[in-house]
Every structure is written in structure tokens, then in C-alpha cells.
Structure 1
Amino acid sequence: MILSRHERMIAKRYLLPGKGERFIFVVASISFVAVMLGVMALVVVMSVMNGFRADLFDKIVGLNGHAVMQGYGGRLPDWREILEESRQTEGVVSATPLIEQPLMASYDGRVEGVLARGMQVEDIRANETINENIVAGDMERLTPGSSRVAIGSRLATALGAVTGGQISLISPQGRSTPFGTVPRIVSYEVAAIFEVGVYDFDKAFVLMPMEDAQTLLLLEDAVGMIEFDTTDPENVREILEPIARNYAAQGVLTDWREMNSQLFDALAVERVVMFWVLSLIILVAVFNILSSLIMLVRAKKRDIAIMRTMGASRRSMMKIFLTIGMTTSTLGTLAGLGLGFLLLHFRQNVVNFVQAVTGQNLWDPSVRFITELPARTDPFEILAIVGLALGSAFVFTLYPAFKAASTDPVQVLRYE
């Protein structure tokens, strides 16, 4: 929509307050602020929702892979054969044998439920999710037969454990005696403490070499499961279908969606609902633009009639008032984007400030799984938000622009 010089001059004049038009300017300013706040709220909330899902996915998959094959009865005897076939399966990036078993842990009289995980040493060294989040100790000290383990930071806090201390793992699979089964209790040195940022993992994980886990759980050479990473997490089931079919008699394949289905489904629903609920703020804002333009058209009816008698076309009037409405919505959208990105940049500082002022814990990791407020901006969603703001403003501006263009100068100036 290209404006001529006099059309630009008139549009600029109407955007600024004139004598007796302060109220119209106030309504237009409210419209600007409303658009800004609506766009800001959508940008911040959608980015946080995306960041929450992406961060949660990265950390969960970093520890549990895209899929796992769980052996029946917690045992997978032919795991080396499955590993060999997985390396020849197209789309499989890695396959990691694991042992996982819920146990009890004791340290200086304190007892907590834990999830013991046994991994091959080379897989432990290659796991970036763990090795990039070491808060104390050294993972290099985890070697087969060393009787050393690494534990999550929140488990260490709950037990009061420190690196170099002795933690005892209590397994119900112990020796059989005439009085029943005696639990197996083995002590290990805490070699390292890690914090991956997912509350459930930091609160329960005890990591050890697989050979030590096999000895502790009396598994001999068997493992409990095999973890798979693929080139495409969204199509993990199709990629691993040959393995699931060939070894269905030994174990069951579960992908990341099934392992965390309730959590990710809830996030997806909440994301859609939040988008449409917050979009109502923008709709309220464009209603304000509509009302301010209607008042402006009524206040400028005599000016419009004079311009029509001087040769201004209906199209010219339409363009002038469309420009006024779109300028307000465009400036509000740009300001909202800027304010939204600013809040995202300082989001954790804002959360900390509000917590300090109110004395409330707004981001309890035991409820929200992740220890810090995440954010990830999707360019396509930003375009959708901008399109929603500008598109709805354009539609709502058409009516007052049409009313201005349809003004009859004869009727308006008859008694002038």
C-alpha cells in the first residue's frame, strides 16, 4: 500500500493529537500498549513452553536415549547379539547396554531410595549430559572393580554425601538363609557428583561401571536393557522396527514418547491452549484500535468531506485510515517483540527477583523437573504471532476506513 505525499501528511497529522482530540489519542495509546503487551506475553510464554519441552527432551533423552529394549524379568542375556545387529541397522546412531535397578542407599545413617545404573566405562566417558555437569569429583575415577560410583547432586544433599565418602547400596537380591533372604549390602566410594538439571535424575541416580552393577545385582553377564539413539527421534519406532520384531521374544521396545507420554502430551496441550488464550489479549487490543478509529472518523467527518470536495478519492481515504490503524498495530507489535526478547534474556533474573520480593518459590524443581526457567524461540511461531497481530488489526481497521471513504460530502457540508 503506497501512499502519496499528501496522504502521508494527513495520516501523520491524524496520528498526532490535535486540539480537542486528547481522548482519541489516549484510546489510541491504550491500543498501542495493549498490542505490545499481547505480543510480549505470547512471545515470552511460547518461548518458555518451547524451551521447557526442548530442555526436558534433551536431558531425558541424554540419559534414557530415544528408545530402550527392556529384557523380560530384567534380564537381557543375548545383548551382544542385539548390539551387533543394531550397528548394521540404518538410522541407529548408538546402542548402549544398561543395568537399572531401584535400590536403597545409606550414608551416615541416612537412607534414600535410589536408581542404580550400570554402564560400560566407555559409554560413561562419552555421555555429554553427565560429563558436562560434574559439580564435584572426577568421573575418570570410575573404573571396573574400583568400587566407586557417581551420584546426583540432590541425592548427595539428601544423604549429606561428599566425594571420597562411603555410600552403601542395599539390594534385596542377597543370600538365601534358613530365615529368608538376607539383603546384599555393598559399600562404594563417591567418586563424583553430577547435576544434569532434571530433578528426578539428580535426586535418585547412582552411576557405576556395568561390571560392578552385574556383581551387585548378581546378573552374571546379562544386562537389563539396551538404550538406542537414532538419527530421527520423531521416527524412532520405524527405525527400530526390525530389532523390535527380531527380538520380541527377549524384550519389549519402548520409545521416548511412551516412556514420558503423559508429560509430553500435557505440554503439547498446554502449549496450544496458552497460545489461543493469550491471543485474546491481541483481539482486545485490536478492538481498541477499531473504537479509536471510529471516533477519529466521526471527529474528522468535516475534514474528510472537504478533502472529498477537493478531489480526494474514496481509495485515498481508505488508504489514510488503514495506514493509521496499521501504524498503531505495527509499532505495538515491534515494541512487544523487543520487550518480549528483553524479558526472555533476563528471565531467570526476573524469577529470582519476584521470589525475593514475595518469599515464594516460583520454580520448584520437584514439581517442574528442570532446575532453571528455560526458553527457546521458534522463528515460525514469532512470524505467526506477528501475522496474528497485524492480520487481525488489518481486518478490524477495514470498517472505519470504509466508513471514512463512504462519507458523503454533500450531506456533511449542507449546513456549513
Structure 2
Amino acid sequence: MNFPFFIARKYFLSGKKKNFINVISIISMIVVAIGTMCLILALSVFNGLEGLLRSMYGNFDPDIVITPATGKSFEFDSAYITKIKSIDGVLGVSEVVEDNVLVEYKDAQRLVRMKGVSRDFDEYSGIKNVMVSGEFPLVRDSIGYALIGRGVQYDLSLSLKNDFYTLQMYYPKDIGPGVVNPSNMYNLLNIIPGGIFAIEKYYDDNYVFVPVEFAKTLLNYENRLSSFDVYLSDGASASNIKTSIQEKLGENFVVKLGEELHSDLYKVLKIEKLFVFLILVSIIGIASINIFFSLTMLVIEKKKDISVLFAQGASSKLIRNIFLYEGCIVAFTGAFVGLVLGISLSLLQQHYGLIGMGMNSAVMNSYPVKIEIMDVFLSILAIVIITFLASIQPAVKAGKSFSTHTLQ
């Protein structure tokens, strides 16, 4: 006859000598709760940082980039744009001419990455969302303007309010031997600074946007381009469109998603997130040793009670399940409290920015966080596995103890 589980458990846990064991169990709950809370917070911060990077780069990078398979430029053909725009989900295609040039403003000089773009860039790019001064359109009243990164502006001490100075751009010519006049060794064009943008340090310190016609003239590209920037409609499948573009353009072009341009950075973030997850899970595992010790001491203390329960009809399986149940109560209570605290603090940080970056020049005033269901699920799964491993040995020992008393 099977002894009812809830009666067995109540009898089994009764007694006056369990205060020390209860203290250890409470400590285990607290440590598991703290570990779980830290796990949720850490994973949420990594998610927030990745989302922040994607949003920042999304203001600069197009959805899809098309570059030549060999060399740094290719002969432009309007048929290419026709093929690309014929694909469902493509909003616009910007012609791009890009290279390193020397810029000069007053007495200051430095090398920058000049990116010449066509009118579709004005319409679809997210640069307009990160302008800090000046105006966005590159061409206004048939006059070309330059959009300059904030870092370049600082280096050149450039002022948009000063109309007497233009931005001078130099690019070396492909010259042959015998040229002795320095002015014949480079192209020089002037352009008016039109606006300042601030995205991310690398872009701010290196990039200057100009109209594609200006860039072609400076670089002597005539009918050549460096790449195509493709912009997609909301909800469009970038991977499917990438495949379609590759099929239409052939092997002479390399088609990449915008996020693939920073794939190494995203991989590093994911690896760091994985190691943080493993480290915090290990800490929770170490904290679960307290569960193991408390259950083991409970087994030692309750040997006589186990025999009494057997005499009343309890089975070996019932005794083992009681110990497993107690371990789960301790771990799951701590995990539940930790999940509630972690999610609550993450939501408070997300909406109110409780913890700031501590830097005036930071992109955001507070640490970005983002809660993902998969992180919560994996955290719960890890705690379930750890709890089972911490509780199984004392439970098995209790069953063996039960068998030993049975034989006696």
C-alpha cells in the first residue's frame, strides 16, 4: 500500500533538529536568486548593446551592399539598377563612389573616407536621423554639399557658419613619368560643408558624404562606380532579396547584407555573451552545492524516520521523490525570485535608465537593455538541470538508506 506523498513529506520534515538545515536551504535560495537575477541582467545588457550597435549602424549602412568581385570599381550599366529594382521589396538603389581622399579646411588637413552617393541616399538613408547640425540633403538648389562626421569636424575645426571657407578635397592622378609640376599630380575640388552627423566613433572620425557626381569628378571615375547601396521596404526578407540580386547580377558581383559588414563585431558580442552565461551558470551551480549538503544532512538525520515511513507503507520511490521535491522547492523558489527581480530591474532600466554610462560623450545616457524570451528560457533550463544534478545524489542515497533499513 502506497503511503500518500503529502502525508509522508509532512511527517518527514517534522522535528526540532532541522533549524540548521533550514538556514542552509534559505541561504541556497538567496544565492540562487541573486545568481539568476545577475544572469538575466547581464544577458539583457548584452542584448541591449547589440541592439544599440545595430540601430547605430543601421543609420549608416544600407540593407544590402553590392560590390565588384574583383577590383574596387566597375563599369556602370543602367541595366543593373533595373534588375535590382525589379525585385519585390526593393525601395531604392544608391550609386556609390568611395575612396580615401585628403581634405583641407583653412590650415588643417587630414585623410578621410569620402563616400559619394546618389539621390536615393537622401530619400532612404537613416543619416538624417543622426544629424547634429546643418541640413541633410546633399544637393540643394543644384548645389552640392558635404555631410561631415563630428570627429572630422573637430580635427579640422570646421564651422558651418563660416561661408568664406570651403572644404578642399585632393586625390592623386594616375600620372606617368616626366611630370614635374605638382599641380598636375592631383585633382582638387571644393565643396561647401552642409551638415554634421554623429553615429559612432569610427564613422564620425573618418567619413564625409558628398554627391556622387562630385566624387566621380574628383576620382576621374567617369562612368564607373564603387558599389550599389540597396534599401528595402519594411518587412522585406533581406536574405531572400540578397539571393535574388546575386542570381540576377551573376558572379561578377559580391552581395552582402548590411549587418554582414560588421559580422565580426556581432560574433564577438555573442561569444562574450556565451561566456558570461556560462560563468554565471557556473556560479549558480556552485551555489547549488548548498542544496546538495542540506539534502545530504537531511538524509543522515532522518534515517530512523525513513524506516518508520516504510513501516507505514511508503515506497523507496516515494522517499526519493520527497528529496527531489525538496531540492526543487529550494532551487525553483530562488530562481523564481531571481527571475522576477532580474526582469523587473531590466524593465526599470529600459524605461527609466537607472544606471548611467558615466560619460558625457556616450551615445546613450544609460546602459541599454533588452529582455529576450530565449534568454529567460535558457536560464530556467540551466537551473532545472543544475537542481536535478544537485538533488539526485542525496535522493538516491535516501533510497539506498531505505533499502538498508528494509534489509535490517
TM range (shorter): 0.7 to 0.9
**Corresponding residue for residue 386 of structure 2:** 392
Q: Number of matched residues?
A: 391
Q: 1:112 to 1:40 in 2, by over 3 A?
A: farther
Cα deviation, residue 338, structure 1? 2.8
Q: Distance in 2 between matches of 1:99 and 1:320?
A: 72
Structure 2 residue 191 is matched with structure 1 residue 192: no
Which structure 1 segments of 5+ residues have no match? 356-360
**Corresponding residue for residue 119 of structure 1:** 117
Among 322, 325, 350, the alignment partner of 2:324 is: 322
Residue pair 1:236, 1:255 contacting (<8 A) in 2 also: no
Residue pair 2:65, 2:256 contacting (<8 A) in 1 also: yes
Read off the aligned partner of 1:160 and give its amino acid letter: S
Read off the aligned partner of 1:377 and give its amino acid letter: I
Cα deviation, residue 384, structure 1? 1.5
Q: Distance in 2 between matches of 1:110 and 1:92?
A: 41
Residue pair 1:32, 1:329 contacting (<8 A) in 2 also: yes
Output one character per residue of 1:126-154: Cα deviation in whole Å (capped at 9) or x when no partner. 22x31222222221474274242222233
Residue pair 1:317, 1:405 contacting (<8 A) in 2 also: yes
Cα deviation, residue 311, structure 1? 3.9
Cα deviation, residue 185, structure 1? 4.1
Q: Counterpart of 2:32 in 1: which secondary structure? A: helix
Residue pair 1:199, 1:370 contacting (<8 A) in 2 also: no
Q: Counterpart of 1:206 in 2: which secondary structure? A: strand
Structure 2 residue 369 is matched with structure 1 residue 375: yes
Structure 2 residue 300 is matched with structure 1 residue 298: yes
The 5 Å alignment of 1:264-413 reads 264-345=266-347, 346=349, 349-350=354-355, 352=357, 373-408=367-402, 411=405
Q: Distance in 1 between matches of 2:106 and 2:148?
A: 16
Cα deviation, residue 245, structure 1? 1.2
Among 17, 22, 30, the alignment partner of 1:33 is: 30
Q: Counterpart of 1:327 in 2: which secondary structure? A: helix
Structure 2 residue 96 is matched with structure 1 residue 98: yes
Read off the aligned partner of 1:78 and give its amino acid letter: F
Output one character per residue of 1:304-336: Cα deviation in whole Å (capped at 9) or x when no partner. 444443444444433432222111111221222
Q: Counterpart of 2:330 in 1: which secondary structure? A: helix
Deviates more, 1:185-194 or 1:402-411: 402-411
Among 139, 142, 146, the alignment partner of 2:143 is: 146
Q: 1:184 to 1:38 in 2, by over 3 A?
A: same
**Corresponding residue for residue 7 of structure 2:** 6
**Corresponding residue for residue 83 of structure 2:** 85
Residue pair 2:306, 2:402 contacting (<8 A) in 1 also: no
Cα deviation, residue 37, structure 1? 3.4
Q: Distance in 1 between matches of 2:340 and 2:9?
A: 26
Q: 1:53 to 1:306 in 2, by over 3 A?
A: same
- TM-score when scaled to structure 2? 0.79
Output one character per residue of 1:189-245: Cα deviation in whole Å (capped at 9) or x when no partner. 33322223x321122221233233334434345432112356434556533322341
Q: Distance in 2 between matches of 1:387 and 1:4?
A: 26
**Corresponding residue for residue 42 of structure 2:** 45
Residue pair 2:87, 2:241 contacting (<8 A) in 1 also: no
Deviates more, 1:237-246 or 1:327-336: 237-246
**Corresponding residue for residue 153 of structure 2:** 156
Q: Counterpart of 2:230 in 1: which secondary structure? A: strand
Read off the aligned partner of 1:295 and give its amino acid letter: M
Structure 2 residue 170 is matched with structure 1 residue 171: yes
Residue pair 2:73, 2:225 contacting (<8 A) in 1 also: yes
Cα deviation, residue 98, structure 1? 1.5
Q: Distance in 2 between matches of 1:104 and 1:10?
A: 85
Read off the aligned partner of 1:132 and give its amino acid letter: N
Residue pair 1:318, 1:402 contacting (<8 A) in 2 also: yes
**Corresponding residue for residue 358 of structure 1:** none
Read off the aligned partner of 1:49 and give its amino acid letter: F
Deviates more, 1:81-90 or 1:54-63: 54-63
**Corresponding residue for residue 60 of structure 2:** 63
Q: Distance in 2 between matches of 1:45 and 1:294?
A: 33
Residue pair 2:112, 2:206 contacting (<8 A) in 1 also: yes
Residue pair 1:34, 1:284 contacting (<8 A) in 2 also: no
Q: 1:111 to 1:298 in 2, by over 3 A?
A: farther
**Corresponding residue for residue 232 of structure 1:** 237
Among 242, 249, 261, the alignment partner of 2:247 is: 242
Q: Distance in 2 between matches of 1:371 and 1:223?
A: 40
Cα deviation, residue 9, structure 1? 4.6
Residue pair 2:92, 2:120 contacting (<8 A) in 1 also: no
Q: Counterpart of 2:102 in 1: which secondary structure? A: strand
Residue pair 1:31, 1:289 contacting (<8 A) in 2 also: yes
Deviates more, 1:294-303 or 1:49-58: 49-58
Among 130, 133, 139, the alignment partner of 1:133 is: 130
Read off the aligned partner of 1:195 and give its amino acid letter: A
Q: Distance in 2 between matches of 1:153 and 1:112?
A: 14
Q: Counterpart of 2:225 in 1: which secondary structure? A: coil
Residue pair 1:104, 1:170 contacting (<8 A) in 2 also: yes
